[in-house]
Structure 1
Amino acid sequence: MTFNLLLSLSIALTLVAAAPGPGVIMTVTRTLQFGLTAGLLVVAGIVAMDLVVLMATLAGLNLLTLANQPGLLTLLMVIASLVLIVLGIQSWRRPIILRLDEGHASVSHFMAGIAVSLTNPVLFYLAFLPVFIDLDALTLHDQIVLLALISGVLTLVLGAYALLAAKLKTWLFEQHPERQLWLNRISATVLFILAITLIHSTIS
């Protein structure tokens, strides 16, 4: 892959990652609710799941066939939907926290990232990447570069959202902790909507 191709792909991936989609919303809301560590764990989950999908694509796995038949992918989506519902219930019931100390790391934040990643079209890379490159013509070196590029762009963009949300958290809640209640309700509603979207896409 040439430098110009990598540059074009980087710009396109940055624009896609920066768009206010489910991944950005999950990163920001979890950071506002639980702190920067939680937001970065969400980012790690999103990046990990996206890389799994990309590696499956590069390995020649027919995700389209897998998506249209009962199987592992359907099971993963059902589990992801249940994770989102459970997280939504937890967010709805979360009490107001008067101290805004950094929260502890929890595997639930990482799982939230994985789950929300599945709410995006699983075949995204099959539709997006061929616009720039021929996946069948990639060498092993090209594939490693592509994996590094995508994981790097996603980490930097979503990580920046997490950092901004962490700064915003103090401004929002330091003097008005009751605002957390509204955030919890909004976050729960978003999670329920994402779960319903995922269930609908799985059924259809």
Structure 2
Amino acid sequence: MDLLTLLSLMIATFVYAISPGPGLFAVLAISTRFGPIPAIWVSIGHTVGDIIYVALAMLALNALAEVINESMLYVKILGASYLIFIGYQQFRSKGISFEPSSKKSSVIKLLIAGFVVGVTNPKTIIFYLSFLPIFIDLNNLTLNTEVQVIVSIGLTVFFVLSLANILGVRLRRYIENPDSIRKINQVTGVTMILVGVFVALY
């Protein structure tokens, strides 16, 4: 895969990923409330979800894609319920610290939350299935090309989510005081609930 094609693929992915969606909003909310490290775990989970769809698209598993679309309603309901539950917990939180948690269970929850946001968006698989053939020949894939595509798209998606993370950190500097914490909990909680509703309805 030549460099120009690879760069074109990354630009197309960047334009797609930067468009407002549940992934960006989720990372922004987590970053603002908990800081950059937890938001990174959410970003990683989301990126893994995207990579799975990229792999499916490159394998041209159209039949599997149809199966995914047929079962997506159930996946979306479960994923949306999980995200709404997280948002409800955050909305009711009375925490008084912006310090990010380093507990293993928290990391796992953040990874799962990011993964759910990424993998429950049906337009992702449709997008990759539709635009990947423009850049690569799915019928003559080599292992080297597959790795290049997965790494390139994965890094691009993670980079876009990192931009949302940075924005959340910058916002956090203006609101890091005890009087604002309850409002921040409510705002981020409502944001996560809305992300869950978006996932369920989109």
Sort the TM-score into its range (normalised by shorter chain). Answer: 0.7 to 0.9
Distance 1:193-1:167 versus aligned 2 partners, 3 A rule: closer
Quick check: 2:87–2:188 contact (8 Å CA) kept in 1? Answer: yes
Match of 2:121 among 119, 122, 133: 119
- Take 1:157 and 1:197, find their aligned partners in 2: how far apart are those partners? 20
Q: Select between 51-60 and 61-70 the one with higher mean Cα deviation.
A: 61-70
Gaps in structure 1 of 5+ consecutive residues: none
- Take 1:19 and 1:183, find their aligned partners in 2: how far apart are those partners? 24
1:191 paired residue number: 192
Q: Which amino acid aligns with 1:100?
A: F
- Take 1:128 and 1:183, find their aligned partners in 2: how far apart are those partners? 39
Please report the RMSD computed on the Cα atoms of aligned residues, expressed in angstroms.
2.2
Quick check: 1:78–1:199 contact (8 Å CA) kept in 2? Answer: yes
2:4 paired residue number: 4
Quick check: 1:83–1:111 contact (8 Å CA) kept in 2? Answer: no
- Of the two structures, which has the highest relative contact order with CA contacts closer than 8 Å and spacing of 6 or more? 2
- Take 2:44 and 2:113, find their aligned partners in 1: how far apart are those partners? 10
Quick check: 1:35–1:166 contact (8 Å CA) kept in 2? Answer: yes
**Which TM-score applies when normalising by structure 2?**
0.84
Quick check: 2:27–2:39 contact (8 Å CA) kept in 1? Answer: yes
Deviation at 1:74, TM superposition (A): 4.5
Q: Which amino acid aligns with 1:89?
A: Y
Higher normalized helix content (fraction of residues): 2
Distance 1:131-1:188 versus aligned 2 partners, 3 A rule: farther
Distance 1:143-1:127 versus aligned 2 partners, 3 A rule: same
The one-character-per-residue Cα deviations of 1:5-39 (angstroms, maximum 9, x if unpaired) are 11111122222222332111111110111121110
Deviation at 1:47, TM superposition (A): 0.7
- Take 1:113 and 1:120, find their aligned partners in 2: how far apart are those partners? 15
Deviation at 1:187, TM superposition (A): 2.6
Percentage identity across aligned positions?
26
The one-character-per-residue Cα deviations of 1:82-118 (angstroms, maximum 9, x if unpaired) are 2112111112111242x33333251211111011112
2:66 paired residue number: 65
